């Protein structure tokens, strides 16, 4: 599923790498908890996995595809087809309905739309199935996303990440805006739905209590040999 070998990334104009990972592997359908405080190269790593960035050196393979060999447009298409992405918050387009937000992923990828067809006969069928799965009342499905609570919005974001059963779901601190009760519910739901869809899950959080739910646990500062300016500052101190 994921195969990283000696991958580095350096921002244009910077003198040092901000990410340098010797090796990172994840099997298909497995779940990985990445513990990463801010400044540990988290955004860069997720950017590499999602194909927004290409590694400066080394190799990042997702689904056996070396992302470095693709053009930026091909990487965008690859992300549309194979990756579901959940942000910390503000995942939804406020002016679209809940259903349309979930369907958005299928609009940019014929492959995802086809997989949704296979799952529940149509993208809309799959979207509704997922919305039911995350426990969102069907009366909310036609509401505008902006009318939902933060907890509901995060669940809808999970449904969108999972529509068309992408092989990889990336979640970037998706629970940090939720309180404890909502957080646990969201975690259970996300893991269960990923398992059901057969999607691998890369989950980044600085909340180590969540780590127990995952197959694999890694600390990003530990595997990032580059060391970020803040990390370096801590070492020096």
CB of 76 to other proteins, least distance (A): 4
According to the binding rule CB under 8 A, does residue 141 interact with other proteins? no
Report how far residue 79's alpha carbon sits from residue 81's, in angstroms, rounded to the nearest whole number.
5
Q: Is 95 in the site for other proteins (CB under 8 A)?
A: yes
d(CA 4, CA 9): 12
Smallest distance from the beta carbon of 146 to other proteins, in angstroms?
9
From the list 109, 113, 114, the residue with the least C-alpha distance to 74 is 109
Question: Considering only residues 108-137, where is the footprint of other proteins by CB under 8 A?
Answer: 108-109
Residue written as token pair 């404890």: 180
Contact present, 70 and 63 (Cβ < 8 Å):
no
Provide the Cα torsion 224, 230, 235, 237; round to 10°: -170
In the complex with other proteins, the residue whose CB is nearer, 90 or 232, is: 90
For residues 230 and 220, give the distance between their C-alpha atoms in angstroms, rounded to a whole number.
Answer: 14
Q: Pick from 19, 21, 105, 136: which binds other proteins (CB under 8 A)?
A: 105
4, 92, 171, 220: which one contacts other proteins (CB under 8 A)? 92
For other proteins, the closer CB: 35 or 42: 42
Contact 51, 45 (CB under 8 A): no
**Could you say which of 30, 66, 70, 77 contacts other proteins (CB under 8 A)?**
77
Site residues (vs other proteins, CB under 8 A): 43, 46-47, 50, 52-53, 72-73, 76-77, 79-81, 85, 87, 90-96, 104-105, 107-109, 160, 172
């Amino acid at each position: 599923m994921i195969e990283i070998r000696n991958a580095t990334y350096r921002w244009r104009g910077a003198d040092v790498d901000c990410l340098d990972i010797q090796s990172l592997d994840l099997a298909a359908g497995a779940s990985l908890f990445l513990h990463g405080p801010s400044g540990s190269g988290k955004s860069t790593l997720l950017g590499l996995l999602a194909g927004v960035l290409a590694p400066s050196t080394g190799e990042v393979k997702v689904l056996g595809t070396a992302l470095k060999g693709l053009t930026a447009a091909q990487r965008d298409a690859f992300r549309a087809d194979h990756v579901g992405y959940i942000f910390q918050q503000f995942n939804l387009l406020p002016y679209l309905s809940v259903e349309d937000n979930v369907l958005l992923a299928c609009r940019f990828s014929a492959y995802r739309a086809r997989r949704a067809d296979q799952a529940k006969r149509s993208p809309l069928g799959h979207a509704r199935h997922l919305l039911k799965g995350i426990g969102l009342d069907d009366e909310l499905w036609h509401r505008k996303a902006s009318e939902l609570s933060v907890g509901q919005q995060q669940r809808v974001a999970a449904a969108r990440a999972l529509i068309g059963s992408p092989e990889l779901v990336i979640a970037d601190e998706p629970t940090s805006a939720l309180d404890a009760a909502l957080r646990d519910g969201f975690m259970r739901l996300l893991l269960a739905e990923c398992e059901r869809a057969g999607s691998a899950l890369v989950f980044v959080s600085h909340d180590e209590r969540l780590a127990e739910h995952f197959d694999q646990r890694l600390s990003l500062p530990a595997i990032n040999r580059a060391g970020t300016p803040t990390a370096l500052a801590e070492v020096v101190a």
